[in-house]
Amino acid sequence: MANSLRLLSLDAEIQGYLAKGLLSVGHAKVLLGVEDPARRGVIARRVVEEGLSVRALEKLAEAQRGARVGRRRGRMVPAAEAAALADIEKRLGSHLGARVALHHSPKHGRIVIAYAGNDDLQRILEKLGLPTDRA
């Protein structure tokens, strides 16, 4: 009940998305954590346009607030840097057709590309421009 009442504090645009079924209650709860109403509206529109899951929205909202990057040190990075890194992950993943994780720190980093089997690995290597030696 209390959570339902909290949803009423969202602006009319987001309440409209909820009413039309374009956003779930889970999406709305995550959006409640975004303090800036203008930013909340932009994020909500992105969720609707891109069909983001609640989990993807949580990642996006965290990146907007400033996320932990570099697992060992867990340093906080500015929201703009976190958003830029998330964008690079998304674009690289889209380009390769694979899930990509970017682990970044000021001095070094690592790009992790997930693949499903040998054929998928070969496809990704070809996308990267590496010659494949299929015998």
Residue 135's Cα: distance from chain center in Å? 39
pLDDT at 22 over 70: yes
What integer pLDDT is reported at residue 68 of this predicted model? 46
Q: What is the pTM of this model?
A: 0.48
pLDDT at 125 over 90: yes
Question: Two tokens at 42?
Answer: 């932009």
Q: Kindly report the number of other CB atoms within 10 A of residue 14's CB atom.
A: 25
CA angle 14, 47, 39 (to 5 degrees): 60
What integer pLDDT is reported at residue 38 of this predicted model? 82
pLDDT in tens, 59-80: 888 776 655 444 444 556 676 7
Which of 3-17, 31-45, 56-70, 115-129 holds the top average pLDDT?
A: 115-129
Task: Please give the domain boundaries of the chain with CATH numbers for all domains.
Answer: 1-65 (1.10.10.2830), 67-135 (no CATH)
Residues 6+ away with beta carbon under 8 Å from 51: none
